[in-house]
Chain A
């Protein structure tokens, strides 16, 4: 089919959604009864997709180049500070590590890293825990839970505390505690978890588990063992993991 400039302009306006309703309807009717015209439209759509893919691939290539630049900059900065300073820093690091190492417990940090995984935030659970499910949750709640979900714990932790202050929803304290713990702010994490004075049954295990891990990270092994011991006794979801950790601690 031979296409004139006017034909192509018409196709373009159709593809760019620039036609008035009446014109669009007439054009679509023409398309329905004309195979050749339909084929031309398919060709143009294919060209559009080809151009799109080409552009996206170019952008991907561009990002790869930038990444190489970033990596290169990092290396330059590392070596650019001068070898004397690098040697001094390394010696200082070795001496510090040597001084600190014997005071640390037998791998509590490793245990914490191996077992600490923030509790997934179940939005439906959180909603149903609300006293008035018909009432839309506050904007602060939405921001706090969003930050928690995308693992932006530094922002999520104080935001969740704020939601607790506003709504007195105990679950928010649990998530705030976990978020603080993810940020390695053990004092604030403990403060949040300790504030859960009335424990709904379904929260108990979670609170005990994260408190146990928190004590592990603080190298307060006796307190950690107490929490793990209770979890083993309860024979709940955390019981098996608690047993393994207890064996390693003993």
Chain B
């Protein structure tokens, strides 16, 4: 099984293997190349592994075009430049600002979108499981109803579909309708 397939089928295990295998070499490389302290190199390497995972999930990685190491070190290099450039502007209150930047991308009103994302995350954490997991499996990991049914141990795909519908309704109500009431 190649590394892309491994991440798709068993992400946590695959990421752990990748992390352990490339950690020391990448930290040394980042330290030498960018003259950064170990803690900063760790931060960059961890982000690189997470973004590698995201790229696989978003199907941005072409099948076997390059080796895992080349691809991972390429992301790490890019992230290191970003880290050096933006480190000063991040406040200590920000949780994982690099990841937020990565998800928000280049949209016009970045700050407004970031605030909205915070609201979604707040609502998700209040809602908890199983809703959060079902929605994540469907909307982020793009699994079909049958796979989600198996993973969550539900009776059949219709049950899963129903749960997913109720969850998304609850979430929408929590974020958007609640906000509209507050704004009135």
Contact = CB atoms under 8 A, between A and B. Distances in A.
A56 interface: yes
B120 A47 contact: yes
B54 A43 contact: no
A62 B15 contact: yes
A47 B74 contact: no
A212 to B, nearest CB: 21
A43 B168 CA distance: 11
B136 A43 contact: no
Contact of B136 (A5, A44, A46, A51): A51
B120 A64 contact: no
Interface residues of B, number: 52
Contacts of A92: none
B80 to A, nearest CB: 13
Contacts of B100: 53
Contacts of A97: none
Interface stretch (A145-153, A171-179, A213-221, A233-241): A145-153
B16 interface: yes
B67 to A, nearest CB: 9
Contacts of B138: 12
Contacts of B161: 5
Most buried by A among B29, B136, B175: B136
B50 A53 contact: no
Contacts of A12: 138
Given A60-B96, A60-B99, A50 B12 contact: no
Contacts of A152: 69
Main SS at interface, chain B: helix
A150 B74 contact: yes
Given A51-B136, A52-B140, A62 B12 contact: yes
Contacts of B139: 15, 47-48, 51-52
Contacts, number: 107
Nearest to B135: A51
A55 interface: yes
A67 interface: yes
Interface residues of A, number: 32
B172 A47 contact: yes
Interface in B84-134: 95-96, 99-100, 102-104, 113, 116-117, 120-121, 123-124, 132
A63 B49 contact: yes
Contacts of A64: 46
Contact of A57 (B74, B99, B116, B120): B99
A70 to B, nearest CB: 7
Interface string A33-69: 0000000000110111111111111011011101100
Contacts of B50: 56, 59-60, 63
B116 to A, nearest CB: 6
B169 interface: yes
Contacts of B69: 150, 152
A59 B53 contact: yes
A119 interface: no
Interface string B41-66: 01000110110011001000000000
Contacts of B20: 66, 70
B99 A63 contact: no
Given A59-B50, A59-B53, A67-B23, 10 more contacts: A47-B168, A47-B171, A48-B140, A54-B121, A54-B132, A57-B95, A59-B49, A67-B19, A146-B70, A150-B73
11 contacts: A5-B161, A47-B175, A51-B124, A52-B57, A56-B54, A60-B47, A62-B12, A63-B19, A150-B70, A151-B29, A152-B69
Interface of B: 11-12, 15-16, 19-20, 23, 29, 32-33, 42, 46-47, 49-50, 53-54, 57, 69-70, 73-74, 95-96, 99-100, 102-104, 113, 116-117, 120-121, 123-124, 132, 135-136, 138-142, 161, 165, 168-169, 171-172, 175-176
